[in-house]
Structure 1
Amino acid sequence: MVNVNWKKINKKLTVPIDEDSYYENTAWCNRDLIPIPPERRTWGVWGYFGYWTVSGSCISAWTTGSTLLAFGLNPRQAIGCVIKAAGGIITGLLAVACGWMGEKHHIGFTVASRFSWGMRGSYFPVIIRIFVACMWFGMQSYWGGQATRVLIGAIIPGFAHMKNFFSESSHLLTKDFIGMVIWYAAFIPLVLIPPEHLQIPFAISFVLFAASCFGLLIWAIVSAGGAGLMFQQTETTIEVGWGVMYGITAILGAWGSGTLGQSDWTRYANRRLAPTLSQLVAAPVTITVTAIIGIIVTSASKDLFGGEVVWNPIYLLADIQEKYHSSPRARAGVFFASIGTVSTQLAISVVLNSVSTGMDMAGLCPKYINIKRGSYIMAIIGICTQPWQLLATADKFLSVLSGFGVFMAPLTGVMLADYHLIRRQKLKLKDLYTGNSSSIYWYSHGLNWRGAVAFTAGMWPLLPGLAASVNNVTSPSFAGWVKLYNLTFIVGIAMSFTAMTIICYISPPPGLGREGPFVEVEGFEAGTSGNTTSAPSSMHGGGEKAIKTMEVQV
């Protein structure tokens, strides 16, 4: 009979712990969940500029803007829509507000959600974010696979015309699937790079994709002799006001949802306010410029391709190679442009998906999952979502983006109201790692009903419109609900923020006012003195060590 050493197996499965660590892996803590210590705070102002150039200058930004053309807006309206949503600083302001706790307390969303939802209740928003992030990663990986397919087709022209062995209803071509496999092979090693060392890869990715964008812009304008006849168009196929509002909501649904987890990255800041400038400047500028380039290129290329609106730059590159009959010059241009599209898909998948999702999954099971392992799980789930079905048409793509906001916007409103207005940016850090009634964030059996009620208040008015949009219901009785749904992110944040504020005013959460002056985690060491606080046994098992905190003016 085989003697299985379960203790040894368990030790191997447990996530690694730093040598001479001041923490242990428990139900609430591991290396990726602790407040980031000083030696791991490596991100400065320019690092965050690189982060936001990757987030804002990507295929999602290009496609979101140009997809509005396919949805029925004319180019001028689409550009105005993009400027109002991104250039209006809404995205940047949300990023600053959501990332503040990362700058100040060096904790990410996974841990921060515990003060609004309770230690056990925090699993709910974490699971929602995991679901949304896996959906996003699936779409990003599909685009990455297509970009890889185009790149290979530029080298081997026959690959672009490979016979398809999948059914037409699947919306997936064999060559796209092969491209995804190769793209995944390139993505997996990136997960091994710690978040504190990703600045240079992000900068390289931005340079490569920016070159692709401006290269396509120059080609389109020169070849079409301008921005295209679509810019002379004045009529639209939809009601302009609500069409523009729907586009704004779609953009906020894409980037606003990402801002919810800004603290996942701002916790690596080497000084206060290091991320702020990039959030307020780089974020809206890069999103706006990339989307506008996408709109102009889409408009100009329509004149070049017989009136067809090619709203995806990857499809456009493939069409360019076909238009010029795979000439050496065309293949060279497509090859170099494809390098930019492949690289940006790798970078954006790390920025918006793998790190945050990995940390969320670590929050579900800290003893056995860290960011790296969580990222691998995300990659498996992402491909199982069949993103090629979600991205089959332009209107379905926008519906997906807006649908995400139904859940993410109320989560954002709850967190912003609780942290900035109710707690006045004060947290008792040690209690965020204490899984029993001694924590002020334990509430009732680990659940805070206030967050759940406020979340529901921000979500329920949007559900009828979501159902009508998904099922293409055109009944006049649903018209009002659909219009409200078109304002998803704005309505969701406003209603949940207001509800959370009123609820906590009527029924203040226990322990309110006892959080300070625990503000910045400066390190961990044995013993306690002054304003330091003993770490509980749930954090490291012994209680001998402490979280050393700085006393600040409050």
Structure 2
Amino acid sequence: MQLNSPAESSLNDLAPARPRDAALSPRLHNHDLAPTRSEGRRWGGYSIFALWTNDVHNIANYSFAMGLYALGLGGWQILLSLLIGAVLVYGFMNLTGYMGQKTGVPFPVISRVSFGIHGAQLPALVRAVIAIAWFGIQTYLASVVLKVLVTALAPSLVEYDHNLVLGLSTLGWACFVSIWLVQLVILAYGMEMVRRYEAFAGPVILLTMTSLAVWMYSRVGGHISWSIREPLQGASMWRHIFAGGALWLAIYGTLILNFCDFARSAPSRRCIRLGNFWGLPVNILAFAVVTVMLCGAQFSIDGRIIENPTQIIQSIPHTPFLVMGCLALLIVTVAVNIMANFVAPAFVLSNLAPRLLTFRRAGMISATVAVLILPWNLYNSPLVIEYFLAGLGALLGPLYGIITADYWLLRRGKVNVPQLYTEAANAAYHYRRGINPRALAAVLPAAAIAIVLALVPAFETVSAFSWLFGAAIAAAVYLLISDRHQTFSDVSGESIAVDNANH
């Protein structure tokens, strides 16, 4: 993806806006928020595939999938559970990707269609807060892997790992700051460098995890334990299978919401469809096979249930291979952190103050905030993870439901792109003082229900499905209370949708 320069960011190549005297508002527009033009559409099928390869094979996802093994699901049950989740993610991700590819705008701007030019700050900020917190946490987790690496190469450095300064040792701080700086350097070169880094990291982690699985398989002579006990049966088995698939969907709820930040630079729908297919359903099945092989082999060796691949890599007896494994985990963790937790808040903060904050400046601010919150304390606090971040995460489903229902069902994919950047009172997305009250009215009950389902212990049996319930309820309420006549009139006649994606 190539960021538009100021000279390229005008909307002159788009259809004329209605009303004719509507002007671009500096409160809504800068060159990073402007639609991506054809020469900037470099995220082809492979780039999208590599993006998902990095995200699928990250440490957190392996911890989740290994948790299914610990629950007692057998090999085929884990494969089926993750396949269900993969199909759901693939479908929803395509819907978001097509929106971004057609309009060429990032998530904070596409949110203006349903929430209004100013009301769009709500979904954008929810996404940004979650991303900033997880950016700090993932940077900390990567620094832990780096610490394993440097102490393996230089054991004498362990003596710097015994003191504490604001919760981290001297060695811990050195590793954390190093990972943090590497990510800033990548982002300093913009989204094109992000694309190149993701393209490089994808094959590295795929080859590493496949090699690790083959090595573990060979250690047990092919005799792996397909489950830790007699596999679950009947209703309990199916509940865990479908719950695992729904939780996989919830894990991807953040990227489902803002995938248009990347898809806006895809040259065609076909690229999105193919990249998503190989990167999600096919890749997730490969991921599931690797998970079963790692868990089953380790359990066959010593009856131990591993929590993540790092535990296996730490046990590699040969230092060169241990170092290579650690480097691969570092590469993929940085790749995942940038795509999932850096790009979104950078666009969101830029959207808050377009005149002052470019993508790069906003990214630097969000990265700095991620350090100031001391993310290792968040990670070590179950209350923060379970209630604060999980509670915010439950909001993602309702937000997605409204944005998607508005775009696909009410407007039928027709958006007046120039009017997303004007504050004119009679513009299509001004609503009431820039806020769509119907969107807020729909999100509140759906969010309340989703949060209750996700956090209240009495609803534990259905908590895994909170994202789906929230999205469905919000979409249904929004469709019921929306003024369909007004919506269609906004995109009729001279203000018909601007499709600049295929030119």
- TM-score range (shorter-chain normalised) is 0.7 to 0.9
Deviations 1:375-405 (A, max 9, x none): 2222223234444355459999788886454
Structure 1 residue corresponding to 2:217, chosen from 204, 221, 229 = 221
The 5-angstrom pairing of residues 351-366 of structure 1 reads 351-366=339-354
Residues in 1 aligned to 2:388 and 2:117: alpha-carbon distance in whole angstroms:
30
Relative to the length of structure 1, the TM-score reads: 0.79
What is aligned with 1:520? 499
Given that 2:53 and 2:206 are in contact with CA atoms closer than 8 Å, whether structure 1 keeps it comes out as no
Deviation, 1:173, is 5.9
* Structure 1 residue 497 corresponds to structure 2 residue 475: yes
Q: What's the counterpart of residue 282 of structure 2?
A: 285
What's the offset of the Cα at 1:37? 1.7
Structure 2: which amino acid aligns with 1:436?
A
Partner of 1:26: helix, strand, or coil? coil
Q: Deviations over 1:123-147 (max 9, x none)?
A: 1111101011112212321221122
For residues 249 and 505 of structure 1, do their structure 2 counterparts lie closer, same or farther at Cα, with a shift above 3 Å needed? same
Describe the SS at the equivalent of 1:191: helix
Structure-to-structure mapping, 1:326-365, within 5 angstroms: 330-365=318-353
2:462 to 470, 484, 497: 484
> Is the 1:61–1:287 contact (alpha carbons within 8 Å) kept by the matching residues of 2?
no
Within the candidate set 176, 180, 191, 2:187 is matched to 191
Aligned pairs for 1:505-544 (under 5 A) are: 508-509=486-487, 511-514=489-492, 516-521=495-500
Point out which structure has higher relative CO (alpha carbons under 8 A, 6+ apart): 2
Query: How far did 1:333 drift?
Result: 0.8
CA separation of 1:393/1:263 partners in 2, compared to 1, >3 Å: closer, same or farther?
same
What displacement does 1:230 show? 5.6
Q: Tell me, what secondary structure is at the counterpart of 2:500?
A: strand
Q: Given that residues 102 and 499 in structure 2 are in contact (C-alpha distance below 8 angstroms), is that contact kept between their aligned partners in structure 1? A: yes
| CA gap 1:440/1:360 in 2 versus in 1, 3 angstroms | same
Matched with 2:123 is: 125
User: How do 1:303-452 and structure 2 match up within 5 A?
Assistant: 303-304=300-301, 306-318=302-314, 320-321=315-316, 324=317, 330-389=318-377, 391-392=379-380, 403-452=391-440
Asked if 1:108 is matched to 2:106, the reply is yes
Give 2:201's aligned amino acid.
S
Structure number with the higher helix fraction is 2
Alignment correspondent of 1:6: none
Partners in 2 of 1:202 and 1:125 — Cα distance? 26
Matched, 1:204 2:192: no
Task: Name structure 1 gaps, 5 residues minimum.
Answer: 1-14, 325-329, 523-548
Contact 1:462 1:484 (8 Å CA) reproduced: no
Residue 105 (structure 1) shift: 1.3
Quote how far apart the aligned CAs of 1:186 are: 1.4
Q: CA deviation at 1:424?
A: 0.7
Q: How far, CA to CA, are the matches of 1:111 and 1:372 in structure 2? A: 17
CA distance in 2, matches of 1:183, 1:485: 35
Percentage of pairs with the same residue: 22
C-alpha spacing 1:447/1:199, structure 2 compared with 1 (3 Å): closer
Partner of 2:177: 181
Counterpart-to-counterpart distance in 1, 2:9 and 2:210? 48
- Superposed CA deviations along residues 155-179 of structure 1, whole A, max 9, x for unmatched, are 1134457542239x96x66644432
Deviation at residue 226 of structure 1 after TM alignment: 3.6
| SS of 2:435 mapped into structure 1 | coil
Give CA-to-partner distance per residue, 1:216-235, whole Å, 9 cap, x none.
21222222334644626225
Structure 1 residues 123 and 21, CA, compared in 2 at 3 Å: closer, same or farther? closer
How many pairs does the alignment contain?
487
Residue 34 of structure 1: aligned partner:
34
Residue 19 of structure 2: aligned partner: none
Matched letter for residue 50 of structure 1:
A
Query: Structure 1 stretch 152-161 or stretch 273-282: which is displaced more?
Result: 152-161
CA separation of 1:131 and 1:295: change in aligned 2, threshold 3 A: farther
Cα distance in 1 between the residues matched to 2:307 and 2:170 = 22
Distance 1:156 1:129, change over 3 A: same
Is the partner of 2:252 in helix, strand or coil?
helix
Cα separation, 2, equivalents of 1:454 and 1:213? 43
Determine if contact 1:61/1:291 at 8 Å carries over to the other structure.
no
> Which among 121, 125, 145 is matched to residue 147 of structure 1?
145
Range moving further from structure 2, 56-65 or 344-353: 56-65
- Distance between the aligned counterparts of 1:426 and 1:131, measured in 2? 30
Aligned partners of 2:328, 2:215: CA distance in 1, in Å?
16
81 and 390 in structure 1: CA distance in 2 versus 1, 3 angstrom threshold:
farther
* 1:28/1:366 contact within 8 Å kept: yes
Structure-2-length-normalised TM-score: 0.87
Change (3 A) 1:97 1:286: same
Whichever residue aligns with residue 122 of structure 1, its letter is A
Cα separation, partners in 2 of 1:264 and 1:506, compared to 1, 3 Å: closer
What is the Cα deviation at residue 358 of structure 1? 0.7
Query: What corresponds to 1:84 in structure 2?
Result: 84
- C-alpha change, 1:463 and 1:455, in structure 2 (3 Å) is same
Q: Which amino acid aligns with 1:429?
A: V
Paired residues of 2:101 and 2:264 also in contact (CA < 8 A): yes
Distance 2:74 2:164 in 1: 35
Kindly provide the amino acid, as one letter, of the partner of residue 90 in structure 1: L
Q: Say which SS state the counterpart of residue 487 (structure 1) adopts.
A: helix
Which shows bigger deviation, 505-514 or 182-191? 505-514
In 2 relative to 1, CA 378–74 (structure 1 residues): closer, same or farther, beyond 3 Å? farther
Contact between 1:154 and 1:332, CA under 8 Å: does it hold in 2? Answer: no
| Residues 70 and 394, structure 1, Cα contact 8 Å, conserved in 2 | no
- Which letter does structure 1 place at the counterpart of 2:416? K
* Residue 191 of structure 1, CA deviation: 0.3
Instruction: Judge which range, 284-293 or 74-83, deviates more.
Output: 74-83
Structure 2: gaps spanning 5 or more residues: 12-23
Equivalent residue number for residue 273 of structure 2: 276
SS of equivalent to 1:180: helix
Letter in 2 for 1:51: L
Post-superposition shift, 1:195?
A: 1.6
Structure 1 residue 51, shift from structure 2 partner: 2.2
